[in-house]
Structure 1
């Protein structure tokens, strides 16, 4: 498992958490074996537990919001609704414009 300085891949984090959960070793021991600071492994384990408890993906990558399936669908529907409202407003203006000509 390799990781660049100050940035660890989602797979690396998942593997570290899996090792903590599946073994009888502490976060500090796992961190020492992986060559990372112990506080990171503790943080990753807490994040894994919190996200899993609400049904969200645990590690999604840098800058990517972790959304549950329902939250992602809700955001998609909100975007679609906004587009539909904009289209409706354009049609209203076009209708008013053409109604003036007659």
Structure 2
């Protein structure tokens, strides 16, 4: 029969989850506190998510919406710039291929 450990108390689990959300790696926490990486993953999942899903400090709802709007605008501007580059290259080739007409009136 495999040897099992008594369950960790809720305060210990919460502190480990907080450390993980603050940026500490699963591996370092597991080795330092004597629990498994999977246990920490499970505790994080049950307590409301992973470090990447934690809200970013300093960004409110309005700022997030503005950031998303600006990212969309940058994407659009980059697409337009690429189209204009291709058009300029095409017109440059056309101008070089077509000899100019002289008008001596």
Structures share a fold, TM > 0.5? no
**Higher-Rg member (1/2):** 2
With CA pairs under 8 Å and 6+ residues apart, which has the higher RCO, 1 or 2?
2
Normalised to the residue count of structure 1, the TM-score between the two structures is 0.42
